[in-house]
């Protein structure tokens, strides 16, 4: 049985080559018939047809290979990637909540907010946030805003 399988496997490429030759010959003979009717048959047309056929086969084999790879997606890998993405998003939300709590804990003087609003033409929320990000220190906030 092993020898039969080996001979079948070995003969498969031969059958494919014969099929390709047959297809190529039909294509070339069809072109000859068409160009013969038109009266402008050129030998270069036969070579071009063979090149086009070879190129089409090469493109098909590449396309088939890519399609096969695309369908071989591992479901567990996708699930793992989705799990990691969800975990990263959860951590980002937690970090944002922590940062907001830290900023809310900073004491800000209303007069400092007013000063920033007037001097830098900021809205109340932007002035308040700038002060909180600099620990409520007006001087540090002023230097930060000037450098920005």
In tens, the pLDDT along 61-74 reads 766 655 555 556 67
Q: What mean pLDDT value characterizes the chain?
A: 75
CA atoms within 13 A on the CB side of 37: 5
Q: Cβ contacts of residue 46 below 8 Å, gap of 6+?
A: 28, 31, 32
pTM summary value: 0.44
So what's the pLDDT on residue 5? Answer: 47
pLDDT digits (tens, 9 = 90+) for 88-124: 999 999 999 999 999 999 999 999 999 999 999 999 9
pLDDT at 55 over 90: no
Query: What crossing angle do the helices spanning 138-147 and 110-120 adopt, rounded to 10°?
Result: 20
């Amino acid at each position: 049985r092993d020898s039969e399988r080996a001979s079948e496997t070995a003969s498969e490429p031969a059958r494919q080559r014969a099929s390709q030759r047959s297809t190529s010959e039909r294509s070339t003979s069809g072109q000859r018939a068409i160009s013969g009717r038109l009266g402008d048959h050129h030998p270069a047309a036969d070579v071009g047809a063979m090149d086009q056929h070879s190129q089409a086969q090469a493109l098909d084999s590449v396309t088939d290979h890519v399609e096969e790879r695309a369908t071989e997606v591992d479901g567990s890998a996708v699930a793992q990637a989705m799990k990691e993405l969800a975990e990263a998003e959860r951590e980002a939300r937690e970090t944002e909540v922590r940062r907001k709590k830290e900023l809310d804990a900073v004491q800000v003087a209303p007069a400092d907010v007013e000063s920033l609003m007037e001097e830098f033409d900021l809205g109340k929320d932007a002035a308040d946030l700038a002060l909180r990000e600099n620990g409520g220190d007006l001087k540090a906030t002023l230097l930060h805003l000037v450098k920005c």
